[in-house]
Structure 1
Amino acid sequence: MEYFTCMIDTAAVHSKRIVPLFRLVSPVVSHLIYADDLLVLLQPSMRGMTALSDIMEKFGRLSGLQLNRKKSRVYFSSRCTLKEERAFALGVEKGELPVKYLGFPLTVNYAREQGCHSLVDFAQRRVEGWQAAGLSFGGRIELVRSVIAGITMFWLQSIQIPTATIQKVESICADFIWRGGMHAISWDQLCRPREGGSVGLRPLHAVRKATCVKMAWRFIKGGRYGRNGWRTDI
């Protein structure tokens, strides 16, 4: 894929056939590659769409790696016009936002509560599905610990979830544990260590603070962009 990266960079930086979506960011982010997935970020001009299609075809002829057009989608912002024509120029179907990738919704509103609605919806759906299972108190605790708290911590490893969202998830968990009735023990007490006689749930608001510090530390001290790129620009 290094040759493909060179082709994209040449079209974006030298020939200017492709205009990256985040062209004012240093370093310029024109595309992202993860495993066998490719995400190209560009301004939706007809020239750029045609250039990207040509690059895909040329790369396929040289490497034997062909784009699966049935599984590929192109997504446009709400301000973009002539979406169907631009998608046709690229040769793939037009998708609708928001879309999920690796369990995360692709959105720019993570810092806002509406950007994390899917996490709250996930917790609510899981709880509603467990209500009729006749679970014991210990069973409900383990489901909260392994499923809802586990998924929330998975999100927290990558993004900064708003405090209001964390509070909603914790409220859903607490209501499920006490079956919607009176809370005999507060959530903070449930999150105390087992050695002190509690059940040892992790306080999600504390995990949020810890992961925020962890991400900041990685950004400042380690990683490709933290050490050599974006840290210097800031």
Structure 2
Amino acid sequence: MAMNCLSLLLDRGAAEGQFGYHQQCRDSKLTHLCFANDLLIFCDGSLQSVTNVLRILEQFAEVSGLTVSICLTEPEINNISSTTGLVHAILPIRYLGVPLVTKKLSLANCEPLIQQVKKKIYSWSACSLSFAGRLLLINTVIARISNFWCSTFTIPKKCIKIINSLCGAYLWRGTTEGHHSARVSWDTVTLSKEEGGLGIRDLNYWNKACTLKLLWLFFFRSCSIWVAWFTKTILSDCKSNFWTIKEKQSHSFAIKKLLRVRDLAYPWIKIKIGNGRSARLWTNNWSSFGNIRELLRLPSYSALGITPTSTLHDIHRNGVWLIWAPRSDVQVEIHALLTTITLNTDEDMYEWCPNGSATLVFSTGAIY
């Protein structure tokens, strides 16, 4: 209840102009994030904004008896620090066991993860385990440690190689000291037991799976804060959607990695046609053919008289599809498919159906 009151105070303060929005949060009107007993407040970094944010926190402290410890960023840092007495912290700092970084995760940033793995392997109890016990330790304790990092970051390949080397040496010899040779290759060990492996999770694939989970959240949890921020900030150009936006140098490393797995996720994220307002003809996966532009092998300058952003609703009038006259067998097949589609008043729905498994259906919401 107390944090709800603080949230209202901060949102009202920004709306009334008491402090400015952070440049990356202006469109989404994001002022703060709360997690457990931690609070991150975003503003434009000016002295006036920081002073007024502190005034809001003082008002909250008078009512609730709770005070907040704050770290600020660089703009006018010396002036703000001398005026307010706040301490300036420098990233990366560790939070919930993982480093907070703004750039690509480096091997040095991953050192705590490597040390955690070594700590488990080097413990006296781990050294006395049998082969089956060592396998269980890798599949449970060490897997959970690495899973937590994988769900937060894209771990560098060199870090994954080091962890695999540590786990391989420990699995076969019970120690990582001295020279060792594996009896079976690590690629075989990470196969499932049905395929002749030991069922150890492959961190490379698991890291990619965690990135795909973010894509799942993006399309099927559109009410979350980060989806709203991503849509407003990254997809601000109405001519682009998630499938067509180009990777930019200004994008963070996390966003670049997200965009680089689009081709892998594209066949799994389909649109169930309703009114056709969210299904773009050329780019969305609304048909059994997949990407229509790639199917027709159209050059970048050609769209057959239909704009690149046109939806199925845009090219449908009074039961007639306003599209090009077919000039090839493939185009005839597309025409035939369109004749089987009837638009209605329902919203388009996203479907998640990897590898032909059971389909999950969600409203398209604000994602376009």
Structure 1 and Structure 2 fold alike (TM over 0.5):
yes
1:105 aligns with 2:99: yes
Task: Give distance in 1, aligned partners of 2:72 and 2:219.
Answer: 32
Task: Give distance in 1, aligned partners of 2:188 and 2:231.
Answer: 40
1:172 aligns with 2:166: yes
1:126 aligns with 2:125: no
1:61 alignment partner in structure 2: 62
After the TM superposition, which of the residue ranges 208-217 and 129-138 deviates more from structure 2?
129-138
- In the TM superposition, what is the alpha-carbon distance from 1:120 to its structure 2 partner? 2.5
1:138 alignment partner in structure 2: 132
Equivalent residue of 2:33, what SS? Answer: strand
Runs of 4+ in 1 over 6 A off after TM superposition: none
1:74 aligns with 2:71: yes
Alignment: residue pair count:
226
2:52 alignment partner in structure 1: 51
Which structure is larger by alpha-carbon Rg, 1 or 2? 2
- In the TM superposition, what is the alpha-carbon distance from 1:201 to its structure 2 partner? 0.9
Which AA in structure 1 matches 2:140?
Answer: S
1:7 alignment partner in structure 2: 9
Which AA in structure 1 matches 2:58?
Answer: E
Which AA in structure 2 matches 1:231?
Answer: T
Equivalent residue of 2:40, what SS? Answer: strand
Task: Give distance in 2, aligned partners of 1:145 and 1:78.
Answer: 46
Which AA in structure 1 matches 2:19?
Answer: I
| 8 Å contact kept, 1:30–1:42 | yes
1:230 aligns with 2:230: yes
- Structure 2: which 5+ runs fail to align? 236-368
- In the TM superposition, what is the alpha-carbon distance from 1:203 to its structure 2 partner? 1.1
- Structure 1: which 5+ runs fail to align? none
- In the TM superposition, what is the alpha-carbon distance from 1:25 to its structure 2 partner? 5.6
Structure 1 counterpart of 2:146, from 149, 152, 156: 152
- In the TM superposition, what is the alpha-carbon distance from 1:45 to its structure 2 partner? 3.5
Which AA in structure 1 matches 2:223?
Answer: R
Task: Give distance in 2, aligned partners of 1:18 and 1:156.
Answer: 36
Which AA in structure 2 matches 1:187?
Answer: W
The CA RMSD over aligned residues, in Å, is 3.1
After the TM superposition, which of the residue ranges 132-141 and 26-35 deviates more from structure 2?
132-141
| 8 Å contact kept, 2:32–2:41 | yes
